[in-house]
Amino acid sequence: IKLYKINGMIRDVARNWRPPLHTEGRGVRTVLVQEFGNFTNQVIWSNAKDIGYDVPATDFSVSGWETANSDFLFDRLAIKGKWPPSKPQVCANRNRWYTDNKGGGKTEQCDLNRISVDGSHWCVNSLGPRHSA
């Protein structure tokens, strides 16, 4: 089962939740879904647009928006390693330069943003408080 289907099921539970009647005693009154994935996807798309990528106008409330017209996310830094990060996720602007590697070759660099500096970890100091507010 794909992750988006599981997330859809969780959203359905929250959307369709009916709290117990007062005559039925105690129970769960409210179900909230913490949409961190949706939030961070919107942040990355907004950053991509801000730094000059051709990002289509997007209705973030439409199911499946994350995968529609998202080819710009595959513009990755030319670095050594198994998983080079997406430039829209880690770069603060379109400035790029190359540094020499110790073993030869070059590594592409950019001015890093405060979303994610490596493409794997979120900057807790900048994203965490905004999501938890």
Once rounded to an integer, what is the mean pLDDT over residues 82-108? 89
pLDDT at 89: 93
Once rounded to an integer, what is the mean pLDDT over residues 108-133? 82
Structure tokens given for 57: 């106008």
Q: How far apart are CA 120 and CA 30, in angstroms?
A: 32
Taking 70 as the threshold, does the pLDDT of residue 8 lie above it?
A: yes
Taking 70 as the threshold, does the pLDDT of residue 2 lie above it?
A: yes
pLDDT at 92: 95
SS3 assignment, position 34: coil
Place of tokens 């929250």: 14
Structure tokens given for 50: 């801000």
pLDDT at 67: 82
Whether residue 86 contacts residue 119, with contact meaning beta carbons closer than 8 Å, is answered with: yes
Q: How far apart are CA 87 and CA 47, in angstroms?
A: 10
pLDDT at 83: 86
Lowest mean pLDDT among 61-70, 95-104, 107-116: 61-70
- For 26, how many CA atoms within 13 A lie in the half-sphere containing its CB? 0
Once rounded to an integer, what is the mean pLDDT over residues 15-37? 85
8-state DSSP, 117: S
Once rounded to an integer, what is the mean pLDDT over residues 24-33? 84
pLDDT at 74: 92
Taking 60 as the threshold, does the pLDDT of residue 116 lie above it?
A: yes
